[in-house]
Each structure stands twice: as structure tokens, then as C-alpha cells.
Structure 1
């Protein structure tokens, strides 16, 4: 399609387009282009009824606009048409399926579920629509509770010998298994359908295959697929999934240690985003950027990139399933960065590494008791995971000294909050994170460090971290003393009322401790992280 026609269809307003310009454009258009233009003109009219042929033309116009990334405009077009459909026919059913999928793409959960239920109640599905019908409903069922099993529904679509049944439905099933963590099954399915695919469909299969191989750490096979994908990119550079291919080629090269090629692909993605921004591609690019930075030991810059992407993506007007997948991918990358930070700490001091996980868990429990929002809990976990990282700059002989520290050595230890802030210098982290890293050793009686702040000057989140930090220190074996029991630690904390943190926090922590049971705190941390991420992605803002 010539660029003038495409630009008109994507950007012209139905109410204000210039009719003379339209006629001029129409006169130089091909037959196919005129079909789209005829549908546009029909849409701009005051007609309230459409023939079957006209309805299909309007659907194709909206689909064309959606495929060019203007999903909201396509949705508005379809919404106008669907409100006028009052008869059951093959084309009206096709239009309802199309409209449901637009709702799905935009994350309009209630509308998508409403039309899914209406479509499930259809008594007669024309044979030529059955594969599309089952594929669309199966896809919606993977994210929204509409009362059907997504796997069996997608498999129904696969019984039909058309493009949807042989390619789209099995691809959606492969993607379903990928996001459920069954990478081997996803890989098996996508390799089967790749044999039938060509063009864009082949590209989708190669990208999915590469994703699975990277997760499964099958590097030699991933290299072979990367070469094929790069060849396809050179042959079809205008594909709509070219950006996604760049992202996962970047992941491949980063995984094999070719940082320069990984950066090249990241730059290509950002060039595409300058031309046309899409939230999904931005999020995927941020995950790649974080992975590259982390592999270069720029862990704090990696965390900053992830938090920045997270904050931008969650402000999107519509959290579509694609953006939800992307957010989950970005936050999963953050967990990997945490793992690398813990590994670095463990090399320096095993106690501090394990202590970090436990403090994060205890601080989370107290903040939850204080009814922090999910977003506040997220920031608090990040801050708690970073709170003692400044200790990597403390000499080993001081950090791991088995006996009592001298005053000079204690002064060096007390530099770790400042060192922690140096790692964050110039980076854009939420205040909650900064307060925890710098102030978790401040005390409300003014005897803490590094600033000697008093009650009213110390943010509540820093006090929460301080309580969790002290409790864990008391209940853990150290070279110079044995751990206290939980009861002994509670008695000690009670004795610090008016000194350590404000009374409301102390009382609430006592309530937390009443329910606390010994457990594997690495597992406990992963559980609270998963719950916080799930709550963020499902819109559960209450902690």
C-alpha cells in the first residue's frame, strides 16, 4: 500500500477529513486501496445499517488499522459498528469475535469477558468460522475467567485445516505453555508449526523458538536459530515483529558474552521506538537493557532501568495482556539482578547475604501489617534488598572479625549506609528505596547513624527496616555470640521502645512476631516477591 493511503487511513479523522483530498487520493489508488477507502467513507457516513459485504469491509479496515499499531482507533471504529449490529449472521459473528479480540488487546477485561460469554452462548457457529471462534475464545481464556479451559479450546481450533487451525491456534498454545513455564512443550509445538510457516508466521515461530532455547540454556541450538532469524530480518526488514526479533537476538548475544552485538541490537530497538513507540516493545527493550547492564556488573543501573520501565508501563491507559506479559518479564529480570547482588554479597560475607533476604521478609511483614499499598511494598522490598550492599566496600578483616570491634573498626562499619548511597548516586530510585538504604541505622532517640536523626526526622520505612534489621541480628548466630531465641529477642525489642522506632511500629511488629514461624527465608522472599508482582499486575493495590 502506498504511504499516502496508509497515512490517511491511520490518521484522518472521520468527522473532519477533507473530501477533496480524499477524492484526489482515491483517483490514484489501486483496487485494494479503494476498498479500504470506500469502507472509510462508509464509516464516516450516517448509515445505521450495513450489508454483509460492507460489514466485512469495515472489519478489514479496522483490522488493517490495528495491525499498524493503532489498536485504540480500531477499537473505536469497531465499537461504533457493533452498536448497530442487530442481526445474527456469519459476518456479524465474525465482527463480534474481532471486537472481543480488540478488547482483549487493550486490556478491557469486562468488555472482553462480556462478548466472550455472549459468543459462548451462540447456538450455531458456521463451519468456516469454527477455527477462528475457538482460537479467539481460547486466547481470551488464557487471561480471563470465562468458564472454559484455554488448552482444550485452542486444541479444538487446531482440528481445522486452515491458517488459524494449523498456525495461529498452535502458536497461541505454544505461547501459553511458555508463559506457564513449560518451555519444552512450547518448543515442541513451535517446531512442529514452523515446518508449515512462511513469512511473518515463520518469524513468529523463530522468535518463540529462540526464547525457549535461551531459557533452557541450549546455546548451540539458539545460535543456529539466531542465524536463521538474522537472515529473515535481512530478507524482510519491514516485518511488524522486527523489534521483538532484535530484543531476543540481543538476549542471545548477551548470553554468549558478545556485549557489543547485544548493545547493537538494543540500539536498533531504541531506533524503532523513536520512529513508533509501543509500550510492549519499550518494556522488552528495558528488560534487555537491564540484562546487559547486570552482565556488565552495573547492577544498580540495571535495577534503575527496570524500575523506570515498570513505572512507565503501569501508567499505560490500558494494561493489555501483552503489556502484562512484558511487565512480568521486566520484574522477573529484577529478581535475577537481586540474585546476582546476593551472590556478590555472599562472596564477601555469607551472613550479610542471608541477612538481606531475612530483613526483606521481616520488613515486608511489618509494612503489610501497617497496610502499605502494593506499590509501597514493592519499593520497600527493593530498598530492603539493597540496604546493606554498601558493606561490599568494608574490608573483609573487619566485616568478618570474630571478636569485638574496636572503635575505629566500628566507625568503618558505620560507613556502609553512605557507601550504599554512593552506588545509587545519580540514579533515579524511589524515595522509599533511598530512605531505607541511607537511614536504616538511624534511631528515634538520636543515637543512630550516619546523621544522628531523631523521631520525626526518620521516615517510617527506614524505621521499619531498622526494626527488621535489629530483630534478624538478634536471632542469628554471629562469630562473637549465639543467637537469641524469639522470646529473648522480643524482650530486648520491648526494652528499646522509645529508642529504636516509634511505638506504633514496635507494637505492630510484636503482632507480626506472634505469628512468625521458622522457615527457609530464601523461599519466603521469593513468595513475597511473587505475591507483590502478582498483585501489581492484577491491579490489587491493597497490600
Structure 2
């Protein structure tokens, strides 16, 4: 029994450190040791732990089997807590397999068991799974109610991991409901909570959770960017293209991962302020009037205003405000000059111009890539030498020679 417990503890340590392979091996040895001394309850715990690690590794068949074996023993030995734990974690496996009704039934049964043993932390987890099921089956009101219950319980019990995970799941719901600012606020709060957990790395393995969170963050920001483009049929896909090419330029410049993520997010939302520009101005086929041009040039300021009150792990507001500034001081809205313009804003700015030039607009057809590069060459004083050189190098590698006939239109205020 001593060997079984030792292997079990080693498995827990490996799991905390994110070493799933070693954790599986330790839990398997723990199971054999418990079996050898006829410790049925110990075997049930080992089966459960094997199920948890198998689920983490997306080995869902194995997780199914282990949770079922653990639950059967837990019923025999009348361990209510372990029964609930098996049902709840098995519910997450069902959810991953999109077997939503089984996931809901398991989580609701687990919830009843946890009320008997007064486990607030696990009740929060059960409410979260139920809320996720309602979200995925098209019942947003019920989903929000259950996820709010989960969040309240997590906060009351001081379960930081549960709170962070629930905020992420609620953000996904709000994303689906089009409540993008609420979704981003929740993701920012979740990010801060995971950072707190990361400082306590002896308690939980955080890297995988952070990766999931950042993927959700990118999905929300990307979808918001696409919803902005829906106001302007000519620019559909613009934000995605700008984000992809800007990221390549950032890599060429050797910028670190945090800065690259900042640039990617800023590129997705660089035009968020255009939601305040009238549709007829965005889609006007002719030259803008002075008043219309002034309104268009307010969109960087309006974009930053829309994000006031939302704290971000990545500070991409400078990209939103200053992606139309120019190195020679002729840009807007603040007429910054030279290195007053953040590097990230310069990168998004040059890519934004290129994509605008090579896309059909209401007031002109698309330029060929070569014609667009000629225009950018003519306006190269708008960017630093380093940014211009990195853009040209990335563009040459990313695009084959364009054989479309060039368009004779130069860069205009509407392009910008």
C-alpha cells in the first residue's frame, strides 16, 4: 500500500508539471500496487486518475473506460464523493465527444451528490459543465444562468482555477451572442487569474489552460473583426489578411512572441472604430467630402474609445489609434512623426495600405500587387526603413508574381 501511495503522489506531481506520459505511468503502477494488496478503494482512485490524464491527452476511449471502472467501484464502496467526481469528469469527456445529453445527465447527477457532501468547488464545476451543454445546444439563457451560478460558487469558495475556467466558458457564450466587449472583459479577467495560478505552479499546471484561453481570445477578436467588415462588403477578409501578413513582418523583424500576439490582435481590431462611421460613407463610390473625410479619420480614436474600461494582457490600443500615422508626420489622428509611432502600429499600417490597394473598393478596382508595391515605394517615407524592408522581404516570399493588369489609381484618403 505504501508503494501504491508513493506512485500515486508521483503521478500527481507529474500531472501538475504537465508531464502526462509520466503521470500515466505512475498511476498505472499505483493501480497495480493497489490491486496486489486488494485495496478496492485505492484502485478506484487510481482508475479515476488514469481517466483524468487520458482525458487531458484526448484519449477519450481510455478515459471512458477508466471513469466507468472507477465509478462502479465507488458505488460498491459507497464513496459518494468519488462517485460524483467520476460522473463529473466523465461528463467532460461526453462533452468533448458532443454527447451533450449524457454530459448533462452526468453533471446533474454529480451536482446532487456534491450537495450531499457539501462540496462547493465541485458544485461550481458541475454547474459549469451544465452551462456549457446548454450553450452548445442553443439555449443561451439557461447557459448564462448556470455559468453565472458556477462563477458565483467558484468565487465564494475561492477556487481560482474554477473561476478562471468559468469566465472563459462564459466568454465563449457571449461571443456566440455577439457580446464581444463582454467576452473580452471576461477573457482578460480569466487571464489575470491564470497568471495568479502560474505563480503557484506547485498547485496546478497552467500552460495548457493559458494556451486554450489565448486561442479563445484570438477567436473572439477575429470574429469581432469580421463583424466589423460585414458593414463593408468590399473589405470582407481584410482584417484576417492584415493580421496574417503583419504577423509575418513581425517575425521577420525578430519580435518576441508577446509582441507578435499583440500585433495579431491589434490587426484584427485596427478598424473597430469604423462601426461609428455611417454605412454610406464607408461604401461611397466617389471622393469623400471634407466632413466625410474628417469622420472617417476619427475611426482610430473611436476604436480606442470602444475599448475603454477593458484591461488587456496585450496592449494593442496603440495599434488601433496610430496605424494611420506616417513616419514623415503627415498621418492622423495625432500627426506623430518618426519613432514616436510604435513599431507595431507601423507594421499594421504598411500591411493595411497594401491590402487596401490590392482589394476592390467602391471607388476603384484593385491594383495588381506590382502596382501596389510601386505606390508603396512612392510613399516609402511613411514608414521606417526597417519596417519597409521587412515588409518587402515578406511580401516577396508570400505572393507569387501578380499578372493582373495594373490600375492607375494612386493612394487616396479613402485607401487610408
Q: TM-score range by the shorter chain?
A: 0.7 to 0.9
Pick one of 181, 190, 198 that aligns with 1:300: 181
Does residue 266 of the first structure (1) align with residue 151 of the second (2)?
Answer: yes
Distance in 2 (alpha carbons) for counterparts of 1:239 and 1:365: 47
CA contact (8 A) 1:157 1:164 kept: no
CA contact (8 A) 1:360 1:385 kept: yes
- Corresponding residue number in structure 2 for 1:418: 301
Aligned partner of residue 336 in structure 2, secondary structure: coil
Does residue 228 of the first structure (1) align with residue 109 of the second (2)?
Answer: yes
Distance in 2 (alpha carbons) for counterparts of 1:135 and 1:473: 55
Larger Rg: 1
Aligned partner of residue 337 in structure 1, secondary structure: helix
The offset of 1:357, in angstroms, is 0.9
Distance change in 2, residues 1:444/1:201 (3 Å):
same
CA contact (8 A) 2:258 2:314 kept: no
Distance in 2 (alpha carbons) for counterparts of 1:441 and 1:244: 46
Distance change in 2, residues 1:385/1:248 (3 Å):
same
Distance in 2 (alpha carbons) for counterparts of 1:165 and 1:455: 67
Pick one of 491, 497, 502 that aligns with 2:384: 502
- Corresponding residue number in structure 1 for 2:407: none
CA contact (8 A) 2:328 2:337 kept: yes
The offset of 1:307, in angstroms, is 3.3
Distance in 2 (alpha carbons) for counterparts of 1:403 and 1:173: 66
Distance change in 2, residues 1:197/1:350 (3 Å):
farther
Number of matched pairs: 389
After superposition, residues 39-58 of structure 1 pair within 5 angstroms as: none
TM-score (norm 1): 0.62
Distance change in 2, residues 1:311/1:189 (3 Å):
same
- Corresponding residue number in structure 2 for 1:100: 10
Distance change in 2, residues 1:365/1:165 (3 Å):
farther
- Corresponding residue number in structure 2 for 1:511: 393
CA contact (8 A) 1:213 1:219 kept: yes
CA contact (8 A) 2:44 2:69 kept: no
Distance in 2 (alpha carbons) for counterparts of 1:232 and 1:389: 47
- Corresponding residue number in structure 1 for 2:26: 136
The gaps in structure 1 that reach 5 residues or longer are 1-89, 117-132, 139-152, 519-543
The offset of 1:466, in angstroms, is 0.4
The gaps in structure 2 that reach 5 residues or longer are 401-416
Does residue 309 of the first structure (1) align with residue 190 of the second (2)?
Answer: yes
Distance change in 2, residues 1:215/1:295 (3 Å):
same
User: 1:417-465 CA deviation, whole Å, 9 max, x = no partner?
Assistant: 1221122112213573110111111112222222222223211111111
TM-score (norm 2): 0.78
Distance in 2 (alpha carbons) for counterparts of 1:171 and 1:350: 52
